[in-house]
Chain A
Amino acid sequence: MSAAASPVPAAPSGSPLSYLNAERGLLSWLTTVDHKRIGLMYLVSTLFFFLLAGLMAIALRVELWTPQGDVFDPDTYNKLFTLHGGLMVFAFIIPSIPASLGNFLVPLMVGAKDVAFPKLNLWSFYIYILGALVLLGAIFGGAMDTGWTFYVPYSTAPSKAGPGIVFSLIGVFILGFSSILTGLNFIVTVHKMRAPGLTWMRLPLFLWAIYATAIIQVLATPVLAITLLLLVLERWFGVGVFDAALGGDPVLFQHFFWFYSHPAVYIMILPAFGVISEVIAVHSRKRIFGYKAIVYSSLAIAFFGFLVWGHHMFLSGQSGIASTIFSFLTFAVAVPTAIKVFSWLATMYKGSIAWTTPMLYALSFMGMFTIGGLTGVFLGALAVDVHLHDTYFVVGHFHYVMVGGTVISFIAGLYHWWPKMGGRMYSEFWSRTACAVVFIGFNLTFVSQLVMGSKGMPRRYASYDSVSPALQETFQFWHQLSTTGSMILGIGFFMVAGTLIWAWVKGPRASGNPWMGLTLEWETTSPPDQHNFAAVPAVRRGPYDYV
């Protein structure tokens, strides 16, 4: 990866053919096996579901402006937060970075023409679309009102929601297979498609992160799949697997669900770590500190992630010993995570930091993700969890991780690779402004939730007018702050979208390597040629060997 030491001069507009215009027409997109186009299609569709689920979040926040349940009736409220959670988790966050940025970047970063199984890749995309539409279409079957975790007996008890529950379950079931196939494709691509000289220890950290993520996708998702399948059979045929009334075991459902869904947290956050590693190294122009430590901590997280699911069940009648072990292991996961944060800080130390938009997002990531991680340690502590369980503290905690961590780094990655994807630069001024708005809106929304949760506000309630007037007043204050914050956050996200769309259409042409990065994707043109590289690149040094 030695060729492009200085940026390639900007290509004139009406430029040579790239993957964007080599073939034309809607059909050429819908039938493409080009990983870059598939990545873009994922990007558009995941962001569509992000928008939908985000608007639902705003609606939920509006309901909570006053203690009374005045905007929605409780049933609608239940369905709204369930759909918000379900779409956000399964249709947006899980596929977000791996399926969009991952699809676009993995073959470029390994120096290949495409992923190992290009057709399978297109199949994954359509499976994703099908699953997401079924999940969304469940609205017409009465939607789901169980919360995104589908807990038994909510999901097995007779419910007003009707067939909506079964459709939601099937939707998520289908989405799971998309995730498995994408992960499988990436694992094989990283193993078999690397350019000559690209040894494991020269892999960009983004690839390591995607690789570790893919392992979790392939190994944890099948357990979710059978769990949902059993639940569907239970609802349809009344077989007794999870329903105690039929001889089943409801806690078994929780074990199965969290055996997937805790590792799924790492499916959501590990790719974010990968993005942040790239952004911080490139925009600090410094060799990443502790490359191997970051690599092995990713793998350690992937491994330990499988052993901590019981921390969701401290209050589900699990034995004290089991809870203690799960609590201890949960703390253990904090160690590899902290290793990464310290490595990033040490990378920035004495680097020549460029205050670009991706870097600003990376910095806000570090602050917000750290809050997310540390509040997780509170929740992992047995006694504290008894107080905080099922309160807004939990809601605040995972939004700090999912939004403050994953979404923020997703945006960092989008700005960082946008010139590569679309061949045009964004406006630094407006993008920085949007970043500030997002930062303020986000923290206002979720710090308030951490505070009101620690004061006892339970999650998933449409109204809070049955508590004492004094407490009502306290809760309302924080709720209104949170709702205000969510509006600001919403505006911020629209600004982000505006800057990116403007850049895509009207931004100044970007060079092949605007950040002077050393990883392979910067060696080709922006936007890349249909076949990625004119010749197979040869790699002779590490990904962050800045001089």
Chain B
Amino acid sequence: MSAHEAVEHHGDDDHHHHEHRLRPEEWPSEPMVGVASAGKVGMWWFLLSDALMFAGFLLAYGILRGGSEIWTCTQELVEAGKCLAPVCSDFAMSLGAQCQENGRFLEEPALGINFTAGLTFLLICSSVTMVLALSYCKEGDRKNTVKYLAITTAGGILFLCGQWYEYFGLFGFPGLIESGLAFGHSSYATTFFLITSFHGMHVFSGVVYLAITTWQASKGRFDDGYTSEVEILGLFWHFVDLIWILVFTFIYLVPNEHGV
């Protein structure tokens, strides 16, 4: 009687926990969450909470953008003299941002959609490899589990490299900051850096989380068929991907009406 064992487990000592981890199907079934493990239920609620953070950020972005007359000071707008008072904070200037030249405001670069679309594709692929890793893990195939977890980790690292390139440039190619988009330069710049870096922090946490799990898998931690921890990792990783698709859509894809 599985429910009974699980309950005993709760009342039992701590060390018991490490020797025999309960399989998800051994958790007492519950009308609302079924046999999902405590960790899984916890992760779901954490993700809901996290989703509201992103919702807040994206909402702030939407309201600021919707309420602004000019969002991106493109070259045309600057030349037409329409970008009269973009804000350039002291902080932005201390970072070396060029906001003015000969009394004229400099244009802000548009976001590179093609490159970021590539990053998006990369992240989606890493979700696929995550799914594969979990299914191999459930089959008890340690070698392939480790392989696909490692590929997923690599996908995350590549994404972070891409984001680094986008911000700071790489191999002599200029990044957005160098091209005139500095944090604090305008609402456009601020919300862009805030939201994408907040997502980037999630990718970074995900990469660390993935790396630890990969290492654990290689040590045979999931060989006993207890795959819930990999599943929970997967939830987090898919969430990070899903959020990125929203961020990509709202920040990059929404066309700039005053723009080109």
Contact = CB atoms under 8 A, between A and B. Distances in A.
Contact of B28 (A113, A187, A192, A236): A192
A237 B89 contact: yes
Interface residues of A, number: 46
Contacts of A256: 56, 60
B3 interface: yes
Interface centre among A188, A193, A221, A233, by most chain B C-beta atoms within 10 angstroms, is A188
Interface stretch (B112-120, B125-133, B180-188): B180-188
A226 B57 contact: yes
B15 interface: no
B49 interface: yes
Contact of B11 (A236, A237, A536): A536
Interface residues of B, number: 45
Contact of B33 (A117, A192, A241): A192
A240 B4 contact: no
B72 to A, nearest CB: 13
Contacts of A219: 48-49, 52
Interface stretch (B62-70, B202-210, B223-231, B251-259): B62-70
Interface string B2-26: 0110011011100000000000000
A187 B45 contact: yes
Interface centre among A112, A180, A226, by most chain B C-beta atoms within 10 angstroms, is A226
A233 B92 CA distance: 12
Contacts, number: 127
Interface in B44-58: 45-46, 48-50, 52-53, 55-57
Given A184-B49, A237-B89, A238-B91, A191 B190 contact: no
Interface string B222-259: 00000000000000000000000000000000000000
A535 B8 CA distance: 8
Given A112-B11, A188-B45, A237-B92, 17 more contacts: A112-B10, A113-B11, A184-B45, A184-B49, A192-B33, A194-B30, A196-B4, A218-B45, A218-B49, A221-B49, A237-B183, A237-B184, A239-B184, A240-B87, A240-B89, A247-B68, A535-B11
B11 A223 contact: no
Contact of B190 (A241, A531, A533): A241
13 contacts: A116-B38, A185-B42, A191-B32, A200-B31, A218-B46, A222-B50, A222-B52, A226-B56, A240-B190, A241-B64, A247-B68, A247-B187, A256-B60
Contacts of A222: 49-50, 52-53, 56
B124 to A, nearest CB: 25
A180 B42 CA distance: 11
B96 to A, nearest CB: 14
Contacts of B49: 180, 184, 218-219, 221-222
Nearest to B55: A223
Interface in A104-125: 112-114, 116-117
Contacts of B42: 116-117, 184-185, 187-188
Contacts of B184: 237-239
A246 interface: yes
A252 B64 contact: yes
A187 B60 contact: no
A199 B64 CA distance: 47
A531 B11 contact: yes
Interface centre among A180, A193, A227, A239, by most chain B C-beta atoms within 10 angstroms, is A239
